[in-house]
Structure 1
Amino acid sequence: MTKYKIFYKFSHANGTLIDESWDDPLEFELGDGQLDFCLESCVIDAQVGKLQTFLLSASEAFGNELEEAFQIMKRLDFPQTMMIELDSVVEFKTPIGDSYVGCIDKIKNDDITVNFNHPLAGNDVSFQVKILQKQ
């Protein structure tokens, strides 16, 4: 697999910073999970040594928000000791051990709506990258 050493800046399309690595370059191998696939695709398309900016629509980046990813759950579905607060991140384990992460979107009495979309779903993003090394 191809290994890269890059500087990058990852932002919402409106300029709000999500993540960056300008002081300490990121070293990764394609497919190792350090970068999402949509961002790896930008790196593959970038030229070594040239600062480039990629603007990705929501559908090109993390997908559009899906209504079916919003699930209404009962308070009893959560551990009794868990604090239920808007925008808090919760993790659920399936009977076979898989994990699913969601964000609490609404609380209405005992009904709790959890958003299982990717946190950046529905957002256009900007990915600025400079490849320092490609092997």
Structure 2
Amino acid sequence: MRELTVGPGTTVTLHFSLSLTDGELVDSNFDGAPATFTVGDGQMLKGFEQALFGLQEGASEEFVIPPEAGFGAHNPNNVQLVEREEFDPGIELSEGLMLSFADAQNTELPGVVVDFNDEQVTIDFNHPLAGRDILFKVAIVQIEPAQVH
């Protein structure tokens, strides 16, 4: 065991899981290969990264990540009404259906159908985990100094 702890300038290999507070599993790699990231490289949201700061190899922890440190608060301005005629008539709409849209910069933007009728479709463009507390479980496998390029 090295004395190195998770923080800026480190590369971390870990097992993790993300769950909702009701127990619904969102993502996990505990049954597979561990993930590796370098602190600050953008692979992990800052709030999740900062929860790991100070942990050593072999540590196993659970954290509750609030929305403001995770996927953000649910923003009602991100719920939009779209005219039904904008959709391909062959699309069978259903509540919870995730669709892909293009924004003004032609960037792909996922949206979830919240409600619909013959005239309008309500689409939620918030991240599906926005506004939710996330249970973040980690097991630190290895910590190394980051390679500077």
Global fold match (TM > 0.5):
yes
- Pairwise CA distance, 1:89: 0.7
Q: 1:10 aligns with which of 11, 18, 43?
A: 18
Whether the aligned pair in 1 keeps the contact of 2:13 and 2:142 (CA below 8 Å) is: yes
- Pairwise CA distance, 1:77: 2.0
Q: TM-score, normalised by structure 2?
A: 0.79
Aligned residues: 135
Whether the aligned pair in 2 keeps the contact of 1:53 and 1:129 (CA below 8 Å) is: yes
- How far, CA to CA, are the matches of 1:88 and 1:31 in structure 2? 33
User: Percent identity among equivalent residues?
Assistant: 27
**Alignment root-mean-square deviation, CA:** 2.0
Uncovered stretches (5+) of structure 1, i.e. residues with no partner: none
Residue 25 (1) aligns with residue 26 (2) = no
Q: TM-score, normalised by structure 1?
A: 0.86
Residue 122 (1) aligns with residue 100 (2) = no
- Structure-2 change in CA distance of 1:82 and 1:46 (3 Å): farther
Q: Secondary structure at the match of 1:3?
A: strand
- Structure-2 change in CA distance of 1:121 and 1:94 (3 Å): closer
- How far, CA to CA, are the matches of 1:36 and 1:99 in structure 2? 20
Amino acid of the structure 2 residue aligned with 1:83? E
Uncovered stretches (5+) of structure 2, i.e. residues with no partner: 1-8, 145-149
Larger-gyration structure (1/2): 2
The structure with more strand, counted as a fraction of residues: 1
